[in-house]
Structure 1
């Protein structure tokens, strides 16, 4: 068991006890020495965990404590690194920078042993996807967050263009294309728009009349109802 996993187990064990519990009891439950327990408690307290008590009196964790970002298992570290590296190579420049910045912030608060694991991760991502969008994907994400209508000029597979007003509520990232999922006012239904075929995009400033979570739920229901091949 890694040190980070042991610290996480200690926090979880303290959560199970509503009253102060002796150090010897904690050490026995965790299968560690009392000396190691005292050292781990001191480490957690130094990182901001509100653990009250002392040797001989018992320990208790104040309710409402949220685990700090350094409390990751080895596989959680790998998932974070892999996901961040993948996003960092996407054509959405703002999202790409945000992924790199987030990974740097996480690395800054990790203890030395976990920081080394993060830097030495051998889970790799393929080459950066070459951007083919003529629009700012960040504007699409902003419209989704704000639940704002978009006015777009969309070209179909044959190159024919059409003016649309849509209610965007999801954005899918695939290996070679990005797809905006939206309610289309012209078609009066859910439609999928490849972002590389959107020739023009304007945020109207008008809020669409339904919540994006509701639209997402209804769209998913249509997928469940679709006939299977």
Structure 2
């Protein structure tokens, strides 16, 4: 059994080497939940099998340039993951990027056995995902692709961007740092050359975009650094008392509004949230189920909700 596990691990390591330019031993050890000594031993086994692996202390392992062996078969679980990933890509990326992904999947299909191709087709015919709505501006079908290219090539982009508080789009030249998906939308963090500061942008608000040949003017930190700063903004602790029978209906989207914990008390559920925009975003979400929930804290949220209700035009 141990020999079989090691064989599958070594094969998996090989495909990881094919997929990445550099792999660190510690990352492999964490991925496969084994010791560094085990990874070193697996690497020696690959080298003894004739795989040209290049290793450098402090950098990692990589395959010699140009060396590739196509996979000859996939497990049933891997085929399932391919179908799922294609459906997810169609739902969450722009049409331009999905076309490239479909081409890549097509190349993978060419290595499948006939029976595996039939299985894949059967899964595709019986898997469906709803449309996410207006995730991208239909007039800019390649926005996500341009941003990924910009980040990988370290080239600035010029875009026409309409912020939510503006009636018209204005032109910005920015240096994209990273892209992330939150709630139902794609966002990216970029250094804005106009504002001389880092800003967050929502991709569906881009009206036009193109990559330039201009290299970034500065070195940027990883995306996680800017997201951590975003998360460090002041937040408000919110407590709601929700009717027990109704609480189940909030499970689908409460995570988008800072849900933290819940506790059942008699015929109700006490829910705790952490929100950085409780007076607008959270308050308006709360109004969707206000007849089934009581605001316990803070008082400022109660005041805001009362104000919104007072201004309702019926």
The alignment's TM-score, normalised by the length of structure 2, stands at 0.46
- Preserved CA contact (<8 Å) 2:90 2:98: yes
Counterparts of 1:111 and 1:10, CA distance in 2: 22
Decide whether aligned partners of structure 1 residues 98 and 145 sit closer, same or farther in structure 2, where only a CA change above 3 A counts: same
Report whether the alignment pairs 1:62 with 2:70.
Answer: no
Report whether the alignment pairs 1:134 with 2:139.
Answer: yes
Question: Please, which of 147, 153, 163 is the counterpart of residue 154 of structure 2?
Answer: 147
Counterparts of 1:202 and 1:13, CA distance in 2: 43
The Cα of 1:208 is off from its aligned counterpart by 0.8
The Cα of 1:183 is off from its aligned counterpart by 1.8
Decide whether aligned partners of structure 1 residues 71 and 188 sit closer, same or farther in structure 2, where only a CA change above 3 A counts: farther
- Preserved CA contact (<8 Å) 2:137 2:207: no
Instruction: Give 2:174's aligned residue.
Output: 166
Counterparts of 1:8 and 1:81, CA distance in 2: 26
Report whether the alignment pairs 1:184 with 2:172.
Answer: no
Decide whether aligned partners of structure 1 residues 185 and 72 sit closer, same or farther in structure 2, where only a CA change above 3 A counts: same
- Preserved CA contact (<8 Å) 2:192 2:198: yes
More moved, 130-139 vs 147-156: 130-139
Counterparts of 2:222 and 2:8, CA distance in 1: 39
Counterparts of 2:219 and 2:72, CA distance in 1: 35
The Cα of 1:167 is off from its aligned counterpart by 0.8
> Considering only aligned residues, what root-mean-square deviation do their CA atoms show, in Å?
3.7
For structure 2, list consecutive stretches of 5 or more residues without a partner in the other structure.
Answer: 13-47, 54-67, 236-273, 275-314
Kindly indicate whether structure 1 or structure 2 has the higher relative contact order, using CA contacts under 8 Å at least 6 residues apart: 1
The Cα of 1:173 is off from its aligned counterpart by 4.9
Instruction: Give 1:198's aligned residue.
Output: 206
More moved, 60-69 vs 91-100: 60-69
The alignment's TM-score, normalised by the length of structure 1, stands at 0.60
Report 1:102-141 matches (<5 A). Answer: 102-121=104-123, 122-127=126-131, 129=133, 131-135=136-140, 136-137=142-143, 138-141=145-148
For structure 1, list consecutive stretches of 5 or more residues without a partner in the other structure.
Answer: 1-6, 16-59
| Number of matched pairs | 180
